Structure 1
């Protein structure tokens, strides 16, 4: 028995999770590069640092939020109940 909505939720969450991870990685590297070139950080760069820290702190909480919203825990493994 398969639930297409559950599979769609899992796929959507996975894509968004990987996208957030990639964005946080790119922003971190950009900020490190700006710091390495000794570029003075203004308000925009400081807000980017705060957003980057918030993004990294949100990543570990994302699976719990997913479980609250969808009703079942997220797992990177194939779900045997869905026929995998």
Structure 2
């Protein structure tokens, strides 16, 4: 077990989360997309906001994929938004 797996297991135990429900790679992919597409500080904030929404039951089922797509298209989206302003 590597450090990331150990950390994930310990955090899951501390928070009462079933580690089998954690898609670590998907979360890491999301934070990578946000860090590279938007801004590095936005990555942990996005993961936290997604967790809040999922915990509250307000996140769409495909929220993680939608957020990743938004991050990957951030430059294009902001360019188009600036043209509309």
TM-score by length of 2: 0.31
User: Which has more radius of gyration?
Assistant: 1
TM-score by length of 1: 0.32
